[in-house]
Amino acid sequence: MPQHTFQLNGETVTVDVEDDVRILWVLRDVLGVTGPKYGCGINVCKACTSHLNGKAFNPCSVRVQDVGPDDEITTIEGLADTVPGDGLHPMQEAWLEHDVAQCGYCQPGQIMAAVALVRRVREEDRAITEDDLDAIRNVCRCGTYSRIRQAIRTGADLMG
């Protein structure tokens, strides 16, 4: 069986798995990294949103053969380690402050999408707009959308 090597949450991992298995299942079923959730498998619900080299991506729609040894995948489990100190990532802190989660199933994906959004608007040297928030595609069936909007603004401030 082919071997695939990539960076996962700061560590080099190598897995034996067929080339075309989507990264979501490599993470969840092979490596036991269960933070990224399955919600649709076709890149429309965004529950599995994680980061590839610091940008949001959906591992349900990327084959393991399409990432290489230098590609860095960050899941919700590794998000806190991307910032200095032993604490949480500021966006996770914002999520706690606003008590966003209800069932919590979508929230890892929501947080990863939010961090990527803040990074994106920073690169464009501008503030988050209502249109930016409207364009977030992550489904929350519990309907926590309003608190998500508040938390993203708080998290953006905390990210400095």
Q: Choose between 6 and 95: whose C-beta lies nearer to other proteins.
A: 95
Minimum CB–partner distance for residue 20 and other proteins (Å): 8
Minimum CB–partner distance for residue 95 and other proteins (Å): 5
Q: Is 131 left (phi over 0), alpha (psi -120 to 50) or beta?
A: alpha
Q: Choose between 99 and 157: whose C-beta lies nearer to other proteins.
A: 99
Minimum CB–partner distance for residue 12 and other proteins (Å): 20
- Give, to the nearest 10 degrees, the angle between helix 90-97 and helix 107-123: 120
Q: What are phi and psi of 12, to 5 degrees?
A: -80, 125
Distance between CA atoms of residues 94 and 115, nearest Å: 11
Question: Which residues share a beta bridge with 63?
Answer: 22
Minimum CB–partner distance for residue 58 and other proteins (Å): 5
Q: Choose between 5 and 88: whose C-beta lies nearer to other proteins.
A: 88
Helix (H, G, I), strand (E, B) or coil at 66: helix
